[in-house]
Chains A and B, each alone.
Chain A
Amino acid sequence: MAEKIYDVVIVGSGAAGGTLAAHLARSGADVCVVEGGPKVNTRTDFNTHSLPHEFPNRHIPTMKPGKPGFDSERSRGLGGKTMLWNAVAWRFSQRDFKGRSHDGAGEDWPLAYADMAPWYDKIEREVGVCGNLDGLEDLPDGVFLPPVPMKCSDLIVKRGAAKLGVKVIHVRKSTLTQARGPRPGCHFCGNCMAGCDVVAKYNSYDVHMVPALRTGKLTLQPDSVVREVMVDANNRATGVRYLNRVTKAEGEVKGKTVIIAAACVQSIALLMMSKSARYPTGLANSSGHLGKDFIPHFTGGVQCFLKDLIGKPTTNDEGFLDHAYVPSFMHNRKRDYARSFGVQFNYQNRRATGWARDVAGFGASYKEAVKARFPAFLTFAPYGEMLPHAGTYVELDYEKKDQFGLPLAKRVLGWSDHDMTLFREMTRWSKDILEASGAEIFAVGEKPQTNHELGGARMGSDPKRSVVNAYCQTHDVPNLFVVDGSVFPSASEKNPTHTIMALAARTADHIAQRAKRGEL
């Protein structure tokens, strides 16, 4: 029997991989998704509803006993990070795609909002995104299910922010607020980031890949940790080489087109590990930009107690986590930094009570103070946009190997003056908004923390300064694509996953059109 050669091999099964798999399989392509982690049953395998006291050490493990998955960056599980994400779904605006044109720093994307709008539409119709039509230029509206009502605490912050001319809007999430097909609407039972066992929250496995299996065109190959993209003498990618997650045995999956969608840092690492005589510093790295231009979001955060709620009866406000958001307001104001920030807030998981350690004192008065503050506790996390600079990058650490014997990816974070100015300003604004909301400030993050990893294999029209083009196709290898946060040339301050999914849909369409024309 001849060796199977798929039309498309996709490495990774998260927001990008799952979207690509479904769209390409529906277009008629023969698709194989190669995922490092195991198949996970969303309904039964996550500890969605556990409380800390059920475990002697009081730490709720991600998985139920004996269920593998989500134990390392290279072997999470089918669905990838969408299994445990918070589902925040913003469209980027024209300013986000044209940051350099807007404030003279960083990079522009080689595409515009108008290029992306139809794909945001498509994803929103397909997976269901809830939100309010706010009519904000910098946060384009979309095709939304009804938003979730704000919590009392959101309204208190909304009133406070309004005193400073700052808007608070309903959050937008890839979570159903109405039943659709087999998926119920959200019933607000708790911590979305512990896994949504009813799939009211989008995950790429249940929402994209499972229905796509019905096409008969999609093959899922879990438990396969990809270590190398194979390239032939004609500079064509021919497939991937992997290690079995359990046995460590090596295997290959062959395809006519290869797409890397392994999440930002792991995609960069895979390209670097796939080095060769032709590409000595990493596959598709003739520009020398692979690993550079790494621009994760950074946050700090303020914890506080809203005085209006101290001593009030507790309510069940944990479900769906955050219901509101502070959209960017500085981008059109006078400021001494480029770009901007937005604030995610009030997403605390009320099962986590670590803050009680730092309430002052001890004895009956301490106990009373903690109890009174429990319903009033609120976290406020501004997210800022980093500009690319030489001090922040991703590289492989060949001294440190993981359980698969593969070099670990190392993130080097050198905070620039620009980053630190923005960090201080967004922290100051956070305190101001909370104080205007009548908050007792409790703890302030002193150092920037990264989240939402982006950049490192950036998109651009100049092959000397970028790794992929506007269709996520590598400049160097025509049948090799990279689709995930790594291709972002600028990061916006907005959560990136919705844009990653829209890019995946756009790239899938591009590949399907080219296949139809016989170009692949």
Chain B
Amino acid sequence: MLTDNQPIEATQDRRENLKIIGAISATCAFPFSAGELYGQHEHPAAAAQAALPKPSFFSAAEMAQITRIADLIIPATDTPGALAAGVPAYIDYVCQRNEALAKTVREGLAALKGPADVATLEQLQAAQSPFFKAIKNLTADGYYTSKIGLLDELVYKGNQVLAEFPSCTIPEH
């Protein structure tokens, strides 16, 4: 009969803890026997953004409207905006697979009767238009889940190895 796993000590010694986790290298390779290499582990650099198919759902005129609106919702400023992040193609991709959403967007675009401007969007927003909400959601989703949006604009820093979790340095106030 096997015994239980080795008991662990009820230690609360933070220095000891830091010594151990401090030994973790940036690539996080642990010296364990073959077959139990749980620790051998690398975090590669962020992968490229998945290519989206060429827009095929909306017409060229509709795509021109969508592109204009996405650019108004998240414009390029001192950082890239929705167009650089490929948001129009994302909107086409999602609407092709979501009939209800496509209907809202398509009807909203038709009601615009041409390119939108800031004033049009302000009116739609004030009127709580379902079309405005739909296209804003799509633009926000497409942008903030893109590589540009999450990594460059928001500066997401997770998904990396920390040798130790840093204690907070914000002064008491």
Q: Which among A58, A182, A187 is the interface contact of B36 at CB below 8 angstroms?
A: A182
The answer to whether residues A367 and B75 also contact, given A51-B147, A125-B4 and a CB cut-off of 8 A, is yes
- Please give the distance in Å from A201's CB to the nearest CB on chain B: 11
Interface residues of A in 321-375 (CB under 8 A from B): 323, 350-351, 353-354, 356-357, 359, 361-364, 366-368, 370-371, 374
Residues in A neighbouring B5, C-beta threshold 8 A: 125-126, 181, 211
- 19 more contacts with CB within 8 A, not counting A184-B30, A198-B38, are A28-B1, A42-B38, A53-B146, A53-B147, A54-B49, A58-B141, A125-B5, A146-B17, A152-B168, A178-B16, A179-B39, A181-B36, A185-B24, A188-B162, A318-B158, A319-B162, A362-B121, A363-B72, A367-B79
Interface set, chain B 39-63, CB cutoff 8 A to A? 39, 41, 43-44, 46-53
27 A-B pairs with CB atoms under 8 Å apart are A26-B2, A43-B41, A52-B145, A53-B146, A56-B51, A125-B8, A126-B4, A133-B12, A143-B8, A156-B170, A178-B20, A179-B20, A179-B30, A179-B39, A181-B5, A182-B36, A183-B39, A184-B24, A184-B28, A184-B30, A185-B20, A197-B38, A318-B158, A353-B150, A359-B140, A362-B136, A364-B77
Answer yes or no: B125 CB below 8 A from chain A CBs. Answer: yes
1/0 per position for B135-173, CB-CB distance to A under 8 A? 011001110111101110111111111110111111000
**Residue on A nearest B10 in the bound complex, by CB:** A143
Which chain B residues (68-121) contact chain A, with CB distance < 8 Å? 72-75, 77, 79, 81, 90, 93-94, 97, 118, 121
In the complex, residue of chain B having the shortest beta-carbon distance to the beta carbon of A27: B1
A58 to B148 Cα, complex, angstroms:
13
Chain A residues whose C-beta falls within 8 Å of the C-beta of B157 in the assembled complex: 314-316, 318
Question: Cα distance A215–B5 when bound, in Å?
Answer: 13
Contact of A357 among B4, B77, B141, B153 (CB under 8 A): B141
- Closest B residue to A59 by beta carbon equals B145
What 5 A-B pairs are tightest by C-beta distance, nearest first?
A: A318-B158, A182-B36, A52-B145, A152-B168, A184-B39
Contact check, A351 vs B150: say whether CB atoms are below 8 A apart: yes
A189 adjacent to chain B (CB < 8 Å): yes
* Interface residue A18 (Cβ < 8 Å from any Cβ of B): no
A196 CB to closest chain B CB (Å) equals: 9
* Overall SS of chain A's interface: loop
Q: Find out whether the CB atom of A354 lies under 8 angstroms from the CB atom of B160.
A: no
State whether B73 touches A362 (Cβ < 8 A). yes
Bound complex: CA A357 to CA B44 (Å): 30
Known: A49-B43, A126-B5. A145 touches B11 (CB 8 A): yes
B21 at the A interface (CB under 8 A): yes
Number of A-B contacts (CB under 8 A): 218
Q: Does A151 contact B (CB under 8 A)?
A: yes
Give the interface residue-count category, chain B: 35 or more
Task: Name A129's closest neighbour in chain B (CB-CB).
Answer: B8
Interface string of A178-214 (1 = CB under 8 A from B): 1111111111111100000111000000100001001
Q: What residue in chain B is nearest A51 (Cβ atoms)?
A: B46
Distance from A499 Cβ to chain B, minimum over Cβ atoms (Å) = 20
Indicate if A313 sits at the interface (CB-CB under 8 A): yes
Complex Cα gap A374–B79 (Å): 16
In the complex the two chains form, is B155's CB within 8 Å of A314's CB?
A: yes
| Contact of B81 with A367 in the complex, beta carbons under 8 Å | yes
Interface string of A145-169 (1 = CB under 8 A from B): 1101111101110000000000000
CA distance A430 to B53 in the complex (A): 44
Residues of chain A at interface, number, CB under 8 A:
83
- Considering only CB atoms, which chain A residue lies closest to B47 in the complex? A54
A53-B50, A190-B158, A319-B165 as given contacts; A215 in contact with B39, CB under 8 Å: no
Closest to B69 in A: A362
- In the bound complex, do residue B159 and residue A189 qualify as a contact, i.e. CB atoms below 8 Å apart? yes
The reply to whether B159 and A190 form a contact with Cβ atoms under 8 Å apart is yes
Contact call A364/B154, Cβ cutoff below 8 A: no
Given contacts A145-B8, A182-B33, contact A57 B93 (CB under 8 A): yes
The answer for the CA separation of A9 and B163 in the assembled complex, in Å, is 42
Evaluate whether A144 and B141 lie within 8 angstroms (CB atoms) in the complex, with A56-B52, A184-B24 already known.
no
Asked, given contacts A184-B24, A316-B158, whether A198 binds B41 with beta carbons under 8 Å apart, the answer is: yes
> Once the chains bind, are A353 and B144 in contact (CB under 8 Å)?
yes
List of B residues within 8 angstroms of A318 by Cβ: 157-159
**Contacts A27-B1, A314-B155 given: A177-B21 contact, CB under 8 Å?**
yes
Which of A26, A156, A188 is the most central at the interface, judged by chain B CB atoms within 10 Å of its CB?
A188
Q: Output the residue of B13, B43, B145 with the most chain A CB within 10 A.
A: B145
Contact A146 B12 (CB under 8 A): yes
Q: Give Cα A321 to B133, complex, Å.
A: 30
Q: Are A155 and B168 neighbours in the complex by a CB distance under 8 Å?
A: yes
Cα–Cα, bound, A28→B140 (Å): 58
Question: With contacts A132-B12, A179-B39 known, is A125 near B7, CB below 8 A?
Answer: yes
Q: Which of A55, A189, A364, A371 is close to B43, meaning CB atoms less than 8 Å apart?
A: A189
Known contacts: A56-B50, A363-B73. The answer to whether A188 contacts B43 by CB under 8 A is no
A313→B167 contact, CB < 8 A: no
Indicate whether A122 reaches chain B with its CB closer than 8 angstroms: yes
CA distance A214 to B5 in the complex (A): 13
Q: Contact: B73 with A366, CB < 8 Å?
A: yes
Chain A 365-390 interface residues, beta-carbon cutoff 8 Å to B: 366-368, 370-371, 374
Contact yes or no, A53 B38, CB < 8 A: no
B50 touches A51 (CB 8 A): no
Asked if A462 CB lies within 8 Å of chain B CBs, one says no
Please tell me if A128 contacts chain B, counting CB pairs below 8 Å. yes
Interface pair A150/B168, CB less than 8 Å apart: yes
A363, B75: Cβ atoms under 8 Å? Answer: yes
**Smallest Cβ-Cβ distance to A367: which chain B residue:** B74
Partner of A146 from the list B14, B137, B140, B146 (CB cut-off 8 Å) is B14
Contacts of A185 in B (CB 8 A): 17, 20-21, 24
* B161 & A177 in contact (Cβ 8 Å cutoff): no
Contact in complex: A187, B162 (CB < 8 Å)? yes
Q: Which residue of B lies closest to A127 (CB)?
A: B5
Known: A26-B2, A56-B93, A125-B5. A356 touches B47 (CB 8 A): no
Of B10, B32, B81, chain A has the most CB atoms within 10 Å of the CB of B10
